[in-house]
Structure 1
Amino acid sequence: MSTVTTTYKVTGMTCGHCEGAVNSEVSEIDGVTEVKAVASTGLVTVTSTRELDDEAVRAAVDEAGYELAGRA
């Protein structure tokens, strides 16, 4: 099975709790197999089984309480 890795820029993350919240919400998106949020860089790397809909990622990041600035 092939995977797609996409990196997004998220604003507002400042700590490990922020990373956990984003990881948790984004991992709920259908097809996502791995999420790695890094507060110090504001980057979230998502590995999935297919190309993700950016709006689905935006909604998940929103739900976590942060803002998706776009793809990095």
Structure 2
Amino acid sequence: MTRLKIEGISCRHCVAAVDEALAEVDGVERVLEVDLDSGIAKIEGDVETEALLAAVREEGYEATAA
């Protein structure tokens, strides 16, 4: 499982946008959670962290490996 810390999410729309962006990354099997309160996203799959970070940044949010 990969965990990311997402900065800048403030509502359910933000969570949905990040969830959708992560789900579209090649190799992602499942987005387990994007938690609004903690800003933590949990992703399952064989995928490079940098690809996940890039997908989040394309949505306009900042992300780091958690």
* Same fold at TM > 0.5: yes
Note if 1:37 corresponds to 2:34.
yes
Give 1:29 deviation, angstroms.
0.7
Note if 1:8 corresponds to 2:4.
yes
What is aligned with 2:15? Answer: 19
Q: Is the 8 A contact 2:9 2:61 kept in 1?
A: yes
Q: Is the 8 A contact 2:2 2:49 kept in 1?
A: no
Q: Which runs of 5+ in 2 are unaligned?
A: none
What is aligned with 2:62? Answer: 67
State the one-letter code of the partner of 1:14.
Answer: S
State the one-letter code of the partner of 2:4.
Answer: Y
State the one-letter code of the partner of 2:37.
Answer: S
Q: Which runs of 5+ in 1 are unaligned?
A: none
CA distance in 2, matches of 1:63, 1:20: 14
Identity %: 37
CA distance in 1, matches of 2:9, 2:19: 11
Task: Give the aligned CA root-mean-square deviation in angstroms.
Answer: 1.0
TM-score (normalised: structure 2): 0.88
State the one-letter code of the partner of 2:20.
Answer: S
